[in-house]
Amino acid sequence: DIQMTQSPSSLSASVGDRVTITCRASQDISNYLAWYQQKPGKVPELLIYTASTLQSGVPSRFSGSGSGTDFTLTINSLQPEDVATYYCQKYNSVPWTFGQGTKVEIK
Amino acid sequence: EVQVVETGGGLIQPGGSLRLSCAASGFTVSNSYMIWVRQAPGKGLEWVSFIYGNGNTYYADSVKGRFTISRDNSRNTLYLQMNSLRAEDTAVYYCARWYLNRGADYWGQGTLVIVSS
């Protein structure tokens, strides 16, 4: 099975900082990658699909890039409401594995 | 408005069975892709199962042979039948609509399953 590895597992940044989260697949998954945000105590929400397409309603400070095995989620100008755990998920083939998550906190 | 609502969670003894339901509104389950995802306490998201519009089903290795995903088109409801439950199945179970090639765009609030004696 293809493994999904996120890094870092957690980070602390200041409001207004640019934050980058990486997701690496152990094999080529093309662009079949989604990113989700899960705020504390809340349900996951879709942020980005097909690696770089922003889901409707998601603030434009979020962006995704990458293809093949290396993917990035970027938050430009981190806001207090962005405190959450972020997960990548591959969906090119079964199993539709999630990364282990990256917890983002405000410094 | 698109909405999914899970029910059926609870406390169950190891080896027991439970059926989760996911009632959908605002879209038709029968021609949608649907997914079950679980989250153990304090842990990350784990994909559990998936059903295509054509009825094809897929399962994580951790639940294969024990869990069955199905749907009732007349009730517009998705189900997850869980048998031979183990302590490690303890989690919040979410159902979600998977829209085309775009990921899981609508999630339920989740239902908690606790497997314990």
Question: What proportion of chain A, given as a percentage, has pLDDT over 70?
Answer: 100
Nearest CA to B30 out of B93, B67, B78 is that of: B78
- pLDDT(B11) > 90: yes
Task: Give the residue with greater pLDDT, B54 vs A66.
Answer: A66
Contact B77, B24 (CB under 8 A): yes
Identify the band that residue B31 occupies on the pLDDT scale cut at 50, 70 and 90.
confident
Residues 13-42 of B with CB under 8 A from A: 35, 37
Token representation of residue B96 = 């979600």
Instruction: Please tell me the predicted confidence (pLDDT) of residue B105.
Output: 96
Q: How far apart are the first and last CA of chain B?
A: 40
Q: A98 and B35 in contact by Cβ < 8 A?
A: no
Map residue A57 onto helix, strand or coil. coil
* Pairwise CA distance, residues B9 & B40, whole Å: 13
Nearest CA to B96 out of B83, B111, B84 is that of: B111
Identify the band that residue B53 occupies on the pLDDT scale cut at 50, 70 and 90.
confident
* Pairwise CA distance, residues A66 & A68, whole Å: 7
Instruction: Please tell me the predicted confidence (pLDDT) of residue A35.
Output: 98
**What integer is the mean pLDDT of B47-58?**
94
Token representation of residue B42 = 């304090």
Map residue B95 onto helix, strand or coil. strand
Residue B110 phi/psi, 5-degree rounding, is 90, 155
The residues on A that touch B, with CB distances below 8 Å, are: 1, 32, 34, 36, 38, 43-46, 49-50, 53, 55, 85, 87, 89, 91, 94-101
Contacts of A51 (CB under 8 A, 6+ apart): A31, A32, A33, A64, A65, A66, A67, A71
- pLDDT(A77) > 90: yes
- pLDDT(B86) > 90: yes
* Pairwise CA distance, residues B65 & B57, whole Å: 12
Q: Strands A10-13 and A102-106, how do they pair?
A: parallel
* Pairwise CA distance, residues B115 & B117, whole Å: 7
Instruction: Please tell me the predicted confidence (pLDDT) of residue B100.
Output: 86
Among A38-42, B20-24, B100-104, the minimum mean pLDDT is found in B100-104
Identify the band that residue A17 occupies on the pLDDT scale cut at 50, 70 and 90.
very high
Identify the band that residue B101 occupies on the pLDDT scale cut at 50, 70 and 90.
confident
**What integer is the mean pLDDT of B58-84?**
97
